[in-house]
Each structure stands twice: as C-alpha cells, then as structure tokens.
C-alpha cells in the first residue's frame, strides 16, 4: 500500500464508518452523497437524502434562525464549523449531533462543495444534562443550608436575648421574678422544641426514627394537638371549628408522632393566618382511610411554592417577610412521619390571600387490630371553639 491508495481507502472509511455520518453537499447546500450511517441516523433511505437541502435536517427553530445557511457561510469563508446541535430525523424525533462542517475548496480556492461529519451524541448530552441538574440541586441544597443556618442563628439568638434581659430584670427588680420565670419557661420550651425538631431531622435522615405503633383513636392525638396549640391560637385570636366524626377512628400509629404532626399543621395555620382568622379541623373516613383536614383562611401559598412546601428548609417568602418563628422543618417532618405510617399528606391553596388546606390520609387499623382493642370513649365533636383568650 502507498500514498496513491489513500483516496480509495478514504472512500472506504467514509462508506464503512459505523459511528460517523458523512454528507457531501453541493455549493448550494443540497446533499449529493451520504454514507449508510447517515441513512440510519436520519431515518431516510439514501435516495431520499440525495438532492434534499441540508436545512431540512435541521430543527424548525434552527432553520428559522437560518443556522444552516450560517453554517455553510462560515465553512465557505473561513474555517471548519462545529455543529453541535439537535437535528431532525425523518420521523420528527431529534438527536444531539456533534461534528464539523468543512468547506471543500479547489486549487484556486473556490468552494466546490461542503462535507459534514457528525455522530449521535444524545447519550453524552443526556449525561451532561443529568450532571448539570445534579450540580444545580447540590448548589440549591447548599444555598438552602446557608439560609437555614442564618434562620437558625436568629431562632436561637432571639430566645437567648429574651433570657438575658430576663436575668437583668430579675437582678434589678427582684419583685418581677415570678413574671420573668413565666417568660423563661416559654422561651426554654421554644428552644427545646427547636432542638427536638433538629434531632428528628437527623433521626429521619439516618433512618433512626423509632415509632411506637399502637392501635388508638386518632381523635386523641388530634385533641392533644388542639390543646397544645391552644395558647398560640388564643394569642392570635383565631377561631377554631372542629368537625370530627363522632365514632372512634382507629389507626395503628405512634400517637406522640401524630400529635406532633397535627400540632405542626395547626401551629402553621395559626402563624400564617392574620389575627382573628378562621381555622377548621375536620376528621372523617373513607376507602379504608382516615382523613384529617386542617384548613385556614390565611395568607395562602403561591402556586410556585406549593410543590416545595414539604421540602426540608423550605420557607415561603411571605414566611420570612412575616419574620415568624420557624426553620422550614415542620412540614418536612409532617410528611416524613405520615409516610412512615403508610399515609400521605397533601396541600391545596388557591394562592396568596386565599388560605390553605392540608390533608393527612392514614390507613384505618384493620379488623384484627380493631377487635383486639376495645374503645368506649367517643369524644363529642362538631364543636366551635372561640380561642379568643389571649395568652397570659
């Protein structure tokens, strides 16, 4: 073999290369020759490719922007053009092509045609997209964590400053001790709750949550939650209407965790509803499940925030603007705990100012569980409690 054999070998390469699609165009951009890979890649028989303008293989968006003409123009007047872009198959589907277009000049430098070589790199493009998305979500979660640390610092500093001023008051006015102790108790409770929530997040992420499953009437944790959120509801002069089915609603669950779930939902309704608001608590059954709805007529949730409210460290803008306490942890714990019980939680809001509705669905205890447990404590229901007593 010697140099004079090269043109024939190049022709064989062009015909036999299984990865590279090769096209030869005339100076006007009409295809005059292509190899078998080109037919396979674009999904046209060679007879339909020959004579076809190159631009018909471009996506309509690129063709509208006159990219095919631009590509040939640059190849004709300066140098090879990279042509990494989506291209169109005969059936309308697309693939990510990477390659080059070359202007073919004769001895006088006149462009006598073009050659285009490309390959299908859709998988690489997809991997890149996946990596890009992963990078973005890492960056987002990093940003969330930074924001979380900032909020956490405030959340801890505020009660600490209150405690510090309490100490000062007691030092200067010993008569104020009993008043100040009440405040101490509240602030310490707040800090304790904060630490517990943070520990729960860690327990969940390390799979170390312990649930104490018991068959019980879900109306008990609901009632306990209403009681524990009572001072907050009263402090904000909210009215709470309860429509709870008047029969035992037996579930197999951890009553302490359920109380935590309903307290979180009720506390959010209280926080994100302007003073004197209306909160509704409903419990009913259907399709082997118990449904608990917590509904408020508060600030509502914008549609773009709705899909993220259950994500860890998510705080709505309005939440930060209102500077209410909270770290963006509560709803994520609600979802985790409910899912660990085989249930689900959903949110609905018609938008800012239109209130919110959270629905918890849990499986009812099955027949065997029910028979093993006797209940004689149907609690009275359908009550309206005007929680208008401010916290003392």
Minimum distance, C-beta of residue 257 to ligand ADP, in the bound complex (Å):
16
> Would you give the distance in Å from CA 221 to the centre of its chain?
29
Q: Which long-range contacts (CB under 8 A, 24 or more apart) does 162-169 make?
A: 162/187, 163/187, 163/188
Closer of 265 and 364 to ligand ADP (Cβ): 265
Q: Which of 21, 72, 118, 319 binds ligand ADP (CB under 6 A)?
A: 319
Closer of 248 and 300 to ligand ADP (Cβ): 300
Does residue 330 bind ligand ADP (CB under 6 A)?
yes
Specify the residue for token string 């209102």. 322
Closer of 242 and 269 to ligand ADP (Cβ): 269
Specify the residue for token string 């600490």. 160
Q: Beta-strand (E) ranges in the chain?
A: 21-25, 31-34, 81-82, 85-88, 94-105, 111-120, 214-217, 239-244, 250-253, 278-286, 289-296, 344-348, 356-363, 383-386
Closer of 118 and 309 to ligand ADP (Cβ): 309
Minimum distance, C-beta of residue 192 to ligand ADP, in the bound complex (Å):
16
Does residue 329 bind ligand ADP (CB under 6 A)?
yes
Which one of 164-172, 202-210, 293-301, 368-376 is the stretch in contact with ligand ADP (CB under 6 A)?
293-301
DSSP letter (8 states) at residue 382: S
Does residue 233 bind ligand ADP (CB under 6 A)?
no
Q: Which of 114, 314, 335, 360 binds ligand ADP (CB under 6 A)?
A: 314
Does residue 266 bind ligand ADP (CB under 6 A)?
no
Which one of 54-62, 77-85, 165-173, 307-315 is the stretch in contact with ligand ADP (CB under 6 A)?
307-315
Does residue 14 bind ligand ADP (CB under 6 A)?
no
Does residue 260 bind ligand ADP (CB under 6 A)?
no
Closer of 316 and 343 to ligand ADP (Cβ): 316
Does residue 35 bind ligand ADP (CB under 6 A)?
no
**Burial label, 348 (beta-carbon count in 10 A; 0-12, 13-18, 19+):** middle
Does residue 331 bind ligand ADP (CB under 6 A)?
yes
Q: In the numeric block, which tokens belong to residue 330?
A: 């509560």
b/e for 132-146, b at 16 or more Cβ within 10 A?
Answer: eeeeeeeeeeeebee
Closer of 45 and 302 to ligand ADP (Cβ): 302
**Burial label, 379 (beta-carbon count in 10 A; 0-12, 13-18, 19+):** middle
Does residue 226 bind ligand ADP (CB under 6 A)?
no
**DSSP secondary structure of 170-232:** HHH-GGGHHHHHHHHHHHHHHHHHHHHHHHHHHHHHTT------EEEETHHHHHHHHHHHHHH
Closer of 14 and 327 to ligand ADP (Cβ): 327
Neighbours of 26 (CB within 10 A): 15
Three-state DSSP at 242 gives: strand
Does residue 281 bind ligand ADP (CB under 6 A)?
no
Instruction: List, in order, residues 6 or more apart from 174 with CB less than 8 Å away.
Output: none
Does residue 272 bind ligand ADP (CB under 6 A)?
yes
Minimum distance, C-beta of residue 317 to ligand ADP, in the bound complex (Å):
8
H or E element that contains 136 = helix 122-172
Three-state DSSP at 298 gives: coil
Q: In the numeric block, which tokens belong to residue 224?
A: 């306990």
Does residue 309 bind ligand ADP (CB under 6 A)?
yes
Closer of 30 and 152 to ligand ADP (Cβ): 152
Which one of 17-25, 167-175, 221-229, 320-328 is the stretch in contact with ligand ADP (CB under 6 A)?
320-328
Q: Which of 29, 166, 277, 328 binds ligand ADP (CB under 6 A)?
A: 328
Does residue 315 bind ligand ADP (CB under 6 A)?
yes
Q: Given the rule CB under 6 A, which residues bind ligand ADP?
A: 268-269, 272, 296, 298-301, 309, 314-316, 319, 326-332, 356
């Amino acid at each position: 073999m010697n140099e004079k054999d090269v043109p024939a070998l190049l022709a064989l390469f062009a015909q036999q290369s299984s990865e590279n699609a090769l096209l030869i165009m005339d100076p006007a951009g009409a295809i005059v020759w292509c190899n078998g890979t080109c037919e396979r890649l674009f999904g046209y028989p060679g007879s339909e490719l020959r004579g076809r303008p190159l631009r018909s293989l471009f996506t309509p968006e690129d063709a509208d922007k006159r990219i095919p003409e631009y590509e040939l123009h640059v190849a004709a007047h300066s140098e090879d053009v990279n042509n990494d872009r989506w291209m169109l198959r005969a059936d309308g589907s697309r693939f990510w092509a990477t390659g080059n277009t070359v202007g073919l000049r004769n001895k006088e430098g006149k462009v006598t045609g073009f050659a285009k070589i490309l390959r299908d790199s859709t998988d690489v493009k997809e991997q890149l997209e996946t990596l890009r998305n992963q990078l973005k979500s890492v960056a987002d979660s990093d940003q969330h964590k930074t924001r979380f640390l900032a909020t956490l610092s405030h959340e801890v500093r505020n009660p600490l400053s209150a405690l510090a001023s309490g100490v000062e008051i007691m030092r200067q006015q010993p008569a104020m001790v009993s008043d100040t102790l009440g405040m101490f108790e509240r602030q310490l409770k707040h800090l304790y709750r904060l630490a517990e929530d943070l520990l729960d997040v860690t327990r969940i992420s390390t799979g170390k949550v312990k649930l104490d499953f018991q068959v019980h009437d879900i109306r008990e944790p609901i009632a306990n939650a209403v009681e524990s959120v009572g001072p907050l509801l009263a402090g904000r002069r909210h009215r709470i209407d309860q429509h709870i089915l008047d029969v035992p609603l037996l579930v197999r669950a951890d009553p302490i965790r359920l109380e935590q779930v309903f307290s979180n939902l009720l506390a959010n309704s209280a926080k994100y509803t302007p003073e004197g608001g209306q909160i509704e608590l409903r419990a009913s059954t259907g399709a082997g499940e118990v449904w608990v709805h917590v509904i408020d007529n508060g600030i509502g949730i914008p549609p773009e925030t709705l899909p993220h409210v259950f994500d860890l460290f998510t705080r709505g803008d309005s939440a930060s603007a209102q500077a209410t306490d909270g770290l963006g942890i509560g709803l994520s714990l609600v979802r985790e705990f409910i899912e660990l019980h085989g249930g689900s939680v959903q949110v609905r809001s018609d938008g800012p100012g239109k209130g919110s509705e959270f629905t918890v669905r849990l499986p009812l205890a099955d027949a065997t569980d029910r028979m093993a447990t006797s209940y004689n404590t149907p609690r009275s229901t359908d009550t309206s409690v005007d929680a208008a007593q401010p916290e003392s």
